[in-house]
Amino acid sequence: MELYNELTDMPLTEQIPDETITIPEHAETEPDVETPAPLPAALLDDDPDDTPPAAPAAAEEPAPAPARRKPAATAPILTIDSRGSVESEDAREAAAWHDIHNAYRTRKILSGQLGGIEQTAGGKTIATVEYNGFRIAIPLKEMMIQLGDTSGQSASAVALRQNKLLGNMLGAEIDFVVRGIDSGSRSVVASRRDAMLRKRQLFFLTPGPGGRPRIEAGRIVQARVIAVAEKTVRVEVFGVETSILARDLAWDWIGDAHDRFAVGDEVLVRVQEVRGDTPETLSIRADIKSTTPNTCAENLKKCRVQSRYAGCVTDVHRGVVYVRLSNGVNAVAHSCYDHRMPGKKDDVSFVVTRLDTERSVAVGIITRIIRQNL
Per-residue pLDDT at 274 exceeds 70:
yes
SS3 182: strand
Sequence-distant (6+) residues with CB within 8 A of 39 are none
Choose the most confident range, by mean pLDDT, from 84-93, 142-151, 212-221, 249-258. Answer: 212-221
Give the pLDDT confidence of 35-55 residue by residue, as tens digits.
444 434 433 344 444 444 455
Q: Could you give the domains of the chain?
A: 88-196 (2.40.50.140), 212-291 (2.40.50.140), 296-371 (2.40.50.140)
Sequence-distant (6+) residues with CB within 8 A of 108 are 102, 177
Residue 258: pLDDT band with limits 50, 70, 90: very high
Per-residue pLDDT at 5 exceeds 60:
no
**Spatial strand order in the sheet of 283-287:** 240-245, 232-237, 220-228, 266-275, 283-287
Residue 93 CA to residue 132 CA, distance in Å, equals 8
What's the confidence (pLDDT) of residue 62?
Answer: 59
What's the confidence (pLDDT) of residue 72?
Answer: 53
Residue 374: pLDDT band with limits 50, 70, 90: confident
Give the pLDDT confidence of 182-229 residue by residue, as tens digits.
988 999 999 999 999 999 999 999 998 888 999 999 999 999 999 999
Give the pLDDT confidence of 364-373 residue by residue, as tens digits.
999 999 999 8
Q: In this structure, how many other beta carbons lie within 10 angstroms of the beta carbon of residue 27?
A: 8
Give the pLDDT confidence of 221-256 residue by residue, as tens digits.
999 999 999 999 999 999 999 999 999 999 988 889
Which of 133, 129, 135, 138 is CA-nearest to residue 96?
133
Per-residue pLDDT at 107 exceeds 90:
yes
